[in-house]
Amino acid sequence: MKVAIEKLDHYGRGITKINDKICFVENALKEEVVEIKIIKETKKYILASTTKIIKESKDRVAPSCPYSNLCGGCHLAHLSFEKENEFKESKVTEIIKKFTKIKDITIKNIIYDEPYHYRNKITLHSKDGKVGLYEQKSNTIIPIKSCLLVNKKLNEEIKNVLPSKEDIILRIGNKTEEILNQNNKKESITSYIGNKKYQVSAQSFFQVNSTITEKLYDEIKSIIQERNSKNVLDLYCGTGTIGIYVSDIVNNVLGIESCKEAVMDANTNKELNKATNCTYKLGKVEDLTKEITNKYDTAIIDPPRSGLHKKVVEKLLEITPKNLIYVSCDPITLARDLNLLKEKYEVEYIRPYNMFPRTYHVECVCVLNKR
């Protein structure tokens, strides 16, 4: 069946219509004419794959990775990087416009850097003596020799990984180039963001794109400096990275995090950076709302994809810090939370960051001011 692609959806799939039913087409771009094979049909939509490109988009590029049609990790490998950035900026604008009941939110220009070799971490799966990445939409292992998204030095380690009974996490320290893997059995490595030094263990969350993370943290730091913030909440703080990054210019930072290893790392990082004004509490943010008091003038919030827990929203609306800086990895849950916060906060702006090039994922910083 031959179809014309109208636009891309938020997952980077082509959109067309078949008998007035929406159809999502993998590996198809806007304004292309393609032959498709239907994979699945429901009452509401159709899923299809591209079998042949009849009219090719000027924005199409040949994927650089030999595994790109297999592993499915690079959803946008066939789209030029320039258009990928445009797509992500438009995606954020469209989602915020569609899902918030707030008029005229400013979306600033997307921040981006290199599209490849940006990841300082990769998780490999192992099964039946094979080591690699999962095939798209299955648990079949694709053995790989390297991954174009991964740091070049870390890629060399992939070749030495042995089959295992569990997932294998490889990490490399930013600037230090220390490597954590199954061969050296290191418990942790040292990594840098800007001039701040961090200990990172295997299970702790740490941003995978060091270049973009530094740009994002610099923006947060400049906001805090401009507003003369003194007492800062760092909610969902991970290994304490953001709070420690801004600790030089504030009086106090309270970080809350539910991962035990991350809190242990955060306390070590506090010592490494002589950030004696930082305090870390272990627990879910929604379970520790008593710690969140009105002494704090600024809250930095970096929640998981699911966004803010209802109890956390209620607490923020109760204590109303003057400034909220919301770091989001999912624009849809960001939009939902902005609707919940809007009675007491106005959005100054949202800025997208291309933290995960060649994928459809996009990070955002949203700055909110108390009304």
Q: Write the CB contacts of 242 (distance below 8 Å, at least 6 apart in sequence).
A: 217, 220, 234, 300, 302, 327
Backbone angles phi, psi at 298, to 5 degrees: -140, 140
Q: Which residues pair with 2 in a beta bridge?
A: 35
Helices 310-319 and 331-341 pack at an angle, to 10 degrees, of 40
Q: Exactly one of 237, 329, 364, 366 is catalytic; which is it?
A: 329
DSSP sequence for 4-24: E--EE-TTS-EEEEETTEEEE
Catalogue the E-assigned strands of the chain: 2-4, 7-8, 14-18, 21-26, 33-41, 45-55, 121-127, 130-134, 141-143, 168-172, 179-180, 188-193, 196-201, 231-235, 252-257, 278-282, 298-301, 323-328, 345-353, 363-370
Tell me whether residue 329 is one of the annotated catalytic residues.
yes
Q: How far apart are CA 340 and CA 10, in angstroms?
A: 23
| Strand pairing class (2-4; 33-41) | antiparallel
Task: Confirm if 12 and 75 have CB atoms less than 8 A apart.
Answer: yes
Q: How far apart are CA 205 and CA 2, in angstroms?
A: 45
Tokens coding 273: 């950076």
Other CB atoms within 10 A of residue 156 CB = 12
Task: Confirm if 273 and 197 have CB atoms less than 8 A apart.
Answer: yes
DSSP sequence for 275-301: -TTEEEEES-GGG-GGG--TT-SEEEE
The secondary structure element, H or E, covering residue 187 is none
Q: How far apart are CA 127 and CA 125, in angstroms?
A: 7
Q: Which residues pair with 37 in a beta bridge?
A: 49
Residues marked as catalytic: 329
